[in-house]
Structure 1
Amino acid sequence: MWHNVRILNAISNTCMAIFILAVVTGAIGWLIQKPVYALQTIRVQSAGGETLRHVNALTVRNIALPNIRGNFFTVDLDEVRGAFEAVPWVRKASVRREWPDKLVVSLEEYQPLGVWGSEGRLLSTKGDLFTVNMAEAEEDYDLLQFSGPEGSEKEVLAHYMEFCQRFAAIDLSPKEVRLSDRYAWSVRLDNGMRVEFGREEGQDTMDVLMDRLLHVYPQLADMTDDHIENIDMRYPNGLALKVRNALPASNTQRSSVAL
């Protein structure tokens, strides 16, 4: 073999290629560790272009920046994304490099819709549960009330949107939507009235109950000068009505209406 020139040339070329590759790799490794490539700027911006309302320099400096390691080449973008998504009010973060020493971080903030249950969590307009400073949220938003079994957040949000659309026909809007542990629905409206719908037995149950309620509600409102406190729709062919007289606040009465 050692007398075969072609084999010797091939071995020599291979060794030379390995040597050159090792030199180049070492040089690149040495270059990317130079201080000139240290991160100098991290620009934080809104993913949608609007002003960030709740994420500020103080929270970024205290929570995100201590968890960012490496330079322009070695920084782990997924790790940076995770560091920013740990900041309160941040729903989602995306990160990109910008030559030669900058990271650009685009943030999407949570948009709270209401309070979820009694544990201090908020429900966002996209059906996410999150936790922030409740006093800050209550100061900036007119929060609704929601509750339901664990994992039912998006279902409750979807029903809320449907209730908004349907009750708009009688100039009312939901202020509270509850889904009980037995999966029974109830809604409190902006006039203080609560409507009990009960469980959905089929796909069209809620539509049937809403159609019935919207049909009879104007008649109920005209029939009484009292404040309607509660409407119970959990009857096959009617409803139960609870009213409170305007004068003595404690005077309540309940009656049933057949449909």
Structure 2
Amino acid sequence: MWNNVRQLNLAANALYALLAVALLAAGGFWLMQRPAFALHTIAIGGDTEHINAPTVRASVVGHLKGNFFTVDLDSARQAFEQMPWVRRASVRRVWPNALAVTLEEYKPLGTWGTDQLVSVDGELFTANQGELDQDLPSFDGPNGTEKEVVARYFEFKKWLAPLGGTPDEVTLSPRYAWTVKLSNGTQIEYGRERNPQTLAERSQRLTAAWAALTARWGKDIEYADLRYPNGFAIRAAGMRFIGNATAGKPAAK
């Protein structure tokens, strides 16, 4: 090889190339560590109704490691998504020393159980309920039924509109029986669903008779039990009325 000029030239060129790559890598590493690329700014956009600078500093800033070049965007995204109210976050670099963050907040529909909130999409999340600017309906049900309860809430709201109230509470018991309490004070026992039409049919049975019921017993109807096969029972001002004389016993709860 030492007598072969061509091979010597090729070897020298390879060494020069390796040296150039090493120098470029060292220069790049040196440049990446310059203070000019330390993260100085986090620009937050999107849904920020419940997000503020103190919350970001307390929840996220301490979790951001590295600079413009080395920060892990996926870890940064996860840190933002751990903040209360945040449903989804996207993070990108902005030259030369900033991050741009777009947030999507949960849209609260109601409270769930004793200490959680449920969104309009039927997703549970935890946040400071003192930050709510209005009273929300109350929901509860077995684990994993959040989406079903939220979907039923919107159906109950539509079905029961003729009663002059909106659902304040929707509860699905551990035995999967439905109870609804309206804003006008009426509590409605639906019982369990026997088929996909059960709840709609029981609602229609009550709303069809509502005008006659309130004309006879007044609007202060406290309780309606719709679990009877062919009728229902109500309680108003201490009186009890069976909606259908042949209703018989209520269906299984």
What is the TM-score of this pair, normalised by structure 1?
0.85
Aligned ranges 1:98-113 → 2 under 5 Å: 98-113=94-109
Offset at residue 89 of structure 1 (A): 2.2
Letter in 1 for 2:73: L
Quick one: distance in 2 between partners of 1:219 and 1:5? Answer: 111
Cα RMSD, aligned residues only? 2.2
1:161-201 Cα offsets, whole Å, 9 max, x none, are 11122222443211110000011111111110011111112
Aligned ranges 1:1-259 → 2 under 5 Å: 14-45=14-45, 47-48=46-47, 52-118=48-114, 120-137=115-132, 140-225=133-218, 227-243=220-236, 245=237, 252-258=238-244
Offset at residue 82 of structure 1 (A): 1.7
What is the TM-score of this pair, normalised by structure 2?
0.87
Offset at residue 74 of structure 1 (A): 0.6
1:131-176 Cα offsets, whole Å, 9 max, x none, are 2223333xx1212111100111111111111112222244321111
Quick one: distance in 2 between partners of 1:5 and 1:160? Answer: 86
Contact map agreement 2:107 2:119 (CA 8 A) in 1: yes
Contact map agreement 1:112 1:141 (CA 8 A) in 2: no
1:22-77 Cα offsets, whole Å, 9 max, x none, are 332232222111111111211122x25xxx33211111112211111111111111
Question: Which residue of structure 2 aligns with residue 249 of structure 1?
Answer: none
Structure 1: state its 5+ residue gaps: 246-251
Give the 3 Å change call, closer, same or farther, for CA 158–3 of structure 1 in structure 2.
farther
Identity rate of aligned residues, in percent?
47
Contact map agreement 2:164 2:184 (CA 8 A) in 1: no
Contact map agreement 2:77 2:91 (CA 8 A) in 1: yes
Number of equivalent positions: 245
Q: Indicate the SS of the match to 2:60.
A: helix
Quick one: distance in 2 between partners of 1:10 and 1:200? Answer: 82
Letter in 1 for 2:75: E
